[in-house]
Amino acid sequence: MIVVTGASGHLGRLVVEELKKRIPAERIVAAARTPEKAADLGVEVREASYDRPETLKSAFEGATKVLLVSGTEENRLQQHSAVVDAAKAAGATLTYTSAPKADTTEAGLAADHKATEEYIKASGVTYTILRNNWYHENYEQSIANAPQLGAIYGAAGDGRIAAASRADYAAATAAVLAGEGHEGKVYELGGDTAWTLADLAAEISKVTGKEVAYQDLPKDDFAGVLAGAGVPAPFAALLADVDVHISRGWLGDTPGTLSELIGRPTQPVGEYVRSLLG
């Protein structure tokens, strides 16, 4: 039995749907903090809160594999550790959605992922780590606003981004969970083609017929733009730091592992822009 945590979230829902294409629904459990939000997935639903270990114990009962979808809250290292402990206690293998180059990058966004990976390896649980590159969807709001603003803002310079769609990553995750031979593996996953934010602006211009340019800003100025748009200041600073690391090559690798796992090319960013604005 495969248990998918965070099953009511964007990625978790897609993973469950992909798993249903590969294995019987009876072998899938959707674990969610609010079970009602996952009730439409067509599989068994169990309550599982990263902050309440007792729910994890019951959610993982009978599991052979557990997917830990990384959390987004400030105490997520503590949350992740609770999931790792519960998976080990259940005798299940663990698959974790991590960050690119989590063990070597100095990007602040990856710090908790690095610590989680270290905790997983020290725990003795059998694991697979999926280091997901950036999602196209991370730029959804920027793309939607760009035709009116006439610009995409960032601090990434000419840095390249090997992003893919959330659906691509979900398909790869399901392939790993439903497959065999992935134990002990660490996969760096990303899109087939890396692009710059200037390339993204050009795609928006092409789709909308409106002139959109990439406006490169100093790190602090970009953080200010994000904060002005309603992003909480600490998170705005973290995102601006991501862009700086993009400029240094953090997200530019295209190893092809993602497309190999899903058996098809990853979604080009131009296709995503068309789906959003076309």
Please give the average per-residue pLDDT across 151-159, as a whole number.
98
By C-alpha distance, which of 178, 196, 140, 172 is closest to 256?
172
Task: Locate the domains of the chain by residue range.
Answer: 2-132, 136-161+192-253+267-277
- Cβ burial, residue 36 (10 Å; 0-12/13-18/19+): exposed
Residue 150: left (phi > 0), alpha (psi -120 to 50), or beta? left
Residue 278 has pLDDT above 90, yes or no: no
The CATH architecture one would assign to domain 2-132 is 3-Layer(aba) Sandwich (3.40)
Residue 72 has pLDDT above 90, yes or no: no
Lookup: tokens for 117:
């990976």
Count the neighbouring beta carbons within 10 Å of the beta carbon of residue 178: 16
Q: In the prediction, which pLDDT does 74 show?
A: 82
Give the pLDDT confidence of 2-48 residue by residue, as tens digits.
999 999 999 999 999 999 999 999 999 999 999 999 999 999 999 99
Residue 73 has pLDDT above 90, yes or no: no
Mean of pLDDT over the chain: 97
Q: In the prediction, which pLDDT does 142 show?
A: 96
- Top-level CATH class of 136-161+192-253+267-277? alpha beta
